[in-house]
Chains A and B, each alone.
Chain A
Amino acid sequence: MPENWTIDRVQEALASKKISARELATDYYERIAARNPELNAYLTLSQNRAFAQADRVDALVGAGKPLPPLAGVPLAVKDVISTRGVRTTCGSKILENYIPPYDATAVERLEAAGAVILGKTNCDEFAMGSSNENSAYGPVRNPEAPDRVPGGSSGGSAAAVAAGLAVVSLGTDTGGSIRQPGALCGIPAMMPSYGRVSRYGLIAFASSLDRIGPFATNVRDVAAVLQIIAGRDANDSTSTTTPVPNYQAEAEKPVKGLRIGIPKEYFGSGMDPEVRKKVEAGIELLRKLGCEIREIRMPHTDYAIAVYYIIATAEASSNLARYDGVRYGLRVDGDSLLSMYRKTRGAGFGAEVKRRIVLGTYVLSAGYYDAYYLKGQKVRALIAQDFRDAFTKVDAIVTPTSPVPAFKLGERTNDPLQMYLADIYTVTGSLAGVPGISVPCGKVGGNLPVGLQIFGPPFGEGRVLQLAQAFENAGGAAL
């Protein structure tokens, strides 16, 4: 039995009856039992649901019926994405016992495509963080270096796939929360365009930024998962009818002649020199593959973190108003309704969430709205314009994913601003709404993975995957 399953290998093994879906799920639960106590990647396991699904797949195999594209594939789902009947905590004490009465559209589609949901993965509370240290259930450890963070906020989803505790997983990305942990754990990780994947059932953090996307061990599997979850959903009015191409076919297209923009602003001070060397080697590899490398300017890059922490906290302060101890989650009694609200929210939310609610409420409050929120929205428009301008000259943009490799647990927890700067290369694409992927681009310091980020134009997932696939095929991960 192969140790490193991919979607293709699962398909072959099931079709040729080398393994059953139930045996495969059992194998993954054994792996989780062995490794999760150390990594803390999973918060909740969904064995009943997983084995029921595996048995459905095995029945199809037994009846000689055609198998759906992800039949039997073990999947992990970030704990901010709703799963019917399976506890969904958002990494927060305020939702410690919350059991969603419905599935997110992405989950429903993946299960309909045959995927086996193993469980829910740890994350920063309400997806707010860059290291997974803001989870109320303890940090996740980086499988490559357990004294270090896996990145965040989708740290559990990244670690689960990197450690072989799931074949693929779903994360969410608001400012870098898929791409950055993908980079730090050394696996491909994709944020699709805003509007490409339905957010229905994704528990909201910042609605104009939140996106669902896949982690996998290879680009082909990223494309396979995206294929299933992409496309219009009547339950999310921001999901678009833009046609969904065949992503695996797009990924196979040759990259010779593609114009790659390298924005000077992403290579300034603050980047680890070893990371810089790897990313430059990655760009050189793309040149050898026949891409045309062009230096470009994206002059508003340096303002992106400031804009992000206005917009994201403002939207969060509004979205998190729903946790009031009335309809779900924790309630702490008080002597009046308002005192119950205050006590519930004070006891249920962790430090980072409270800090962001205070900041977000402040930037929206009377007297400060124009100076902060409106200003932030205007500079966001300038950042989006940087991307539009760039895509009139180049076909894709290549940058580092993170300025540093995985840092040590506890190293940055006392300085929120320093932690926010971990997202310096990823938040730009979040604000602009474009798709981006992080692909492994060698390791530094012996075992710490580096990520290369590839941005495409809106709904240009095919081109992003095409470059990522060529980079992977050419040995980018071993640079």
Chain B
Amino acid sequence: MKISREDVLRVADLAYLELSESELETYRKQIDEILEYIGKLNELDTANVEPMAQVLTDDQTADATLREDVVVPCKVASEILKQAPDPEPPYFRVPKVIER
């Protein structure tokens, strides 16, 4: 077994994801099978391989990296707030986090 029930609980907690009892066991089993399959990567010696974090090469990104940091007015602020479940313009409201 690659992944335990406690592992799934710990990870779900890290991801702020509520799982039911049946979800917990189903995912544990399925993820265990997937991790078992992923284990085949250990057949490869990668000691001298540089990890690849993205596909673009340096010369492709040379002119396509960071733009100038210029302040641009946001014209859709009110539309954005309209999408919030509990807006109080110009704020997003969340449940109380600090007890007095």
Measured CB to CB, the residues of A under 8 A from B are 98-99, 101-102, 194-195, 208, 232, 234, 237-242, 300, 302-303, 305-307, 309-310, 317, 321, 324-331, 333-338, 340-343, 345-347, 349, 351, 354-355, 357-359, 361-362, 365, 372, 374-382, 384, 416-417, 420, 432-433, 458
Q: How far is the CA of A232 from the CA of B67 in the complex (A)?
A: 12
Q: How far is the CA of A326 from the CA of B42 in the complex (A)?
A: 41
A329 neighbours in B (Cβ, 8 Å)? 83, 85
* Beta-carbon nearest neighbor of A432 in chain B: B55
B8 neighbours in A (Cβ, 8 Å)? 358
A346 neighbours in B (Cβ, 8 Å)? 17-20
B52 neighbours in A (Cβ, 8 Å)? 377-378, 380-381, 384
Closest CB-CB distance, A39 to chain B, in whole Å? 29
Docked-complex contact A239 and B64, CB < 8 angstroms:
yes
Docked-complex contact B64 and A232, CB < 8 angstroms:
yes
Q: How far is the CA of A238 from the CA of B56 in the complex (A)?
A: 8
Q: CB-CB contacts of B1-20 with A at 8 A, as 1s and 0s?
A: 00100011011101111111
Docked-complex contact B27 and A358, CB < 8 angstroms:
yes
Closest CB-CB distance, B15 to chain A, in whole Å? 5
Docked-complex contact A433 and B56, CB < 8 angstroms:
yes
A458 neighbours in B (Cβ, 8 Å)? 55, 60
Closest CB-CB distance, B60 to chain A, in whole Å? 5
Q: How far is the CA of A174 from the CA of B60 in the complex (A)?
A: 20
Docked-complex contact A384 and B55, CB < 8 angstroms:
yes
Docked-complex contact A340 and B55, CB < 8 angstroms:
no
* Among B3, B41, B95, contact of A375 (Cβ-Cβ < 8 Å): B41
* Beta-carbon nearest neighbor of A374 in chain B: B51
Q: Does B23 contact A (CB under 8 A)?
A: yes
B71 neighbours in A (Cβ, 8 Å)? none
Docked-complex contact A326 and B16, CB < 8 angstroms:
no
Docked-complex contact B94 and A340, CB < 8 angstroms:
yes
* Among B14, B40, B51, contact of A378 (Cβ-Cβ < 8 Å): B51
B51 neighbours in A (Cβ, 8 Å)? 374, 377-378, 380-381
Q: How far is the CA of A240 from the CA of B42 in the complex (A)?
A: 35
Closest CB-CB distance, A309 to chain B, in whole Å? 6
Q: How far is the CA of A346 from the CA of B16 in the complex (A)?
A: 8
Q: How far is the CA of A307 from the CA of B41 in the complex (A)?
A: 8
B:13-64 near A, CB below 8 Å: 14-20, 23, 27, 30-31, 33-35, 37-38, 40-42, 44, 46, 49-56, 60-61, 63-64
Known pairs A101-B79, A337-B94; A358 contacts B12 (CB<8 A): yes
B12 neighbours in A (Cβ, 8 Å)? 358, 361
Docked-complex contact B15 and A358, CB < 8 angstroms:
yes
Q: How far is the CA of A379 from the CA of B65 in the complex (A)?
A: 25
Docked-complex contact A361 and B15, CB < 8 angstroms:
yes
Docked-complex contact B56 and A417, CB < 8 angstroms:
no
Is chain B's binding surface mostly helix, strand, loop or mixed? loop
Beyond A194-B56, A359-B34, A380-B52, 8 extra complex contacts between A and B, CB < 8 Å: A101-B80, A327-B92, A336-B97, A342-B18, A361-B15, A378-B50, A416-B33, A417-B37
Docked-complex contact B19 and A354, CB < 8 angstroms:
yes
| CB-based closest 10 A-B pairs | A433-B55, A346-B18, A377-B51, A331-B85, A101-B79, A381-B52, A378-B46, A341-B16, A101-B76, A342-B18
| 12 A–B contacts from the bound complex (CB under 8 Å) | A101-B80, A102-B76, A194-B55, A237-B65, A327-B92, A343-B18, A349-B17, A355-B27, A375-B46, A378-B50, A381-B51, A382-B46
A433 neighbours in B (Cβ, 8 Å)? 55-56
Measured CB to CB, the residues of B under 8 A from A are 3, 7-8, 10-12, 14-20, 23, 27, 30-31, 33-35, 37-38, 40-42, 44, 46, 49-56, 60-61, 63-67, 76, 79-80, 82-86, 92, 94-97
Docked-complex contact A342 and B85, CB < 8 angstroms:
no
Known pairs A195-B56, A237-B65; A416 contacts B41 (CB<8 A): no
B31 neighbours in A (Cβ, 8 Å)? 355, 358-359, 362
* Beta-carbon nearest neighbor of B66 in chain A: A237
* Among A306, A333, A361, contact of B41 (Cβ-Cβ < 8 Å): A306
Docked-complex contact B95 and A340, CB < 8 angstroms:
yes
Q: How far is the CA of A110 from the CA of B86 in the complex (A)?
A: 34
A420 neighbours in B (Cβ, 8 Å)? 34
Docked-complex contact B54 and A361, CB < 8 angstroms:
no
Q: How far is the CA of A231 from the CA of B53 in the complex (A)?
A: 22
Docked-complex contact B55 and A361, CB < 8 angstroms:
no
Q: How far is the CA of A474 from the CA of B83 in the complex (A)?
A: 51
Closest CB-CB distance, B1 to chain A, in whole Å? 14
Docked-complex contact A382 and B11, CB < 8 angstroms:
no
* Among A300, A336, A342, contact of B17 (Cβ-Cβ < 8 Å): A342
Among B12, B18, B44, which residue has the most Cβ atoms of chain A within 10 A? B18
Docked-complex contact A381 and B64, CB < 8 angstroms:
no
Known pairs A303-B44, A331-B85, A374-B51; A365 contacts B64 (CB<8 A): no
Docked-complex contact B83 and A99, CB < 8 angstroms:
yes
